[in-house]
Amino acid sequence: MGTLDNCRECGHLFVKSGSINICKSCFDKEEALFQRVSSFLKKRANRTATTYEVMKETGVSDSLIYQFIRQGRLVLTNFPNISYPCMQCNAQIREGKLCHSCSQEIKHGLEKHNREMIRSNEEPTRPTYRSNERKKE
């Protein structure tokens, strides 16, 4: 059973089913745009087109093209000049969500955090010693 939600594109109320966040009308429009991009790229002459060229020739926005790629609907192995932005720094990438340098930065940060956690857990607690000297009166 679906739940009621507002379409993220047009704002109309619709019954949400699965991971689709848009109403049937907007979904049909988006599907037509995908077919336009897909048919453009299926032509042998257009397989070396860049993302900008696809956007310019089809009239489909770059963000929607990137969405098709992230959804796995456009597979980049056949299109060597199409890329999309890294989620963190916007560098152009062809796979995953992060570029190599951003993923390495996160990896090094996690390794540093783990080393600090291990070191803080290994440090023995040192007892506090107090002298028993009395104040001279």
Please tell me the distance from the alpha carbon of residue 15 to that of residue 18, in angstroms, as a whole number: 10
Q: How many CB atoms lie within 10 A of CB 20?
A: 15
Asked whether the predicted pLDDT for residue 130 surpasses 80, the reply is: no
Mean pLDDT along residues 120-128: 69
Asked whether residue 93 is assigned to any structural domain, the reply reads yes
Asked whether residue 60 is assigned to any structural domain, the reply reads no
- Range with the poorest average pLDDT among 7-21, 51-65, 89-103, 122-136: 122-136
Asked whether residue 106 is assigned to any structural domain, the reply reads yes
Domain span including residue 100:
85-118
| Residues 23 and 10 sit within 8 Å (Cβ to Cβ) | yes
Residues 6 or more apart whose Cβ sits within 8 Å of residue 16: 2, 3, 4, 5
Residues 6 or more apart whose Cβ sits within 8 Å of residue 61: 55
pLDDT at res. 78: 85
pLDDT in tens, 72-92: 888 888 899 999 999 999 999
pLDDT in tens, 6-56: 888 898 998 888 778 889 999 999 999 999 999 999 999 998 999 999 999
Asked whether residue 79 is assigned to any structural domain, the reply reads no
Number of domains composing the chain: 1
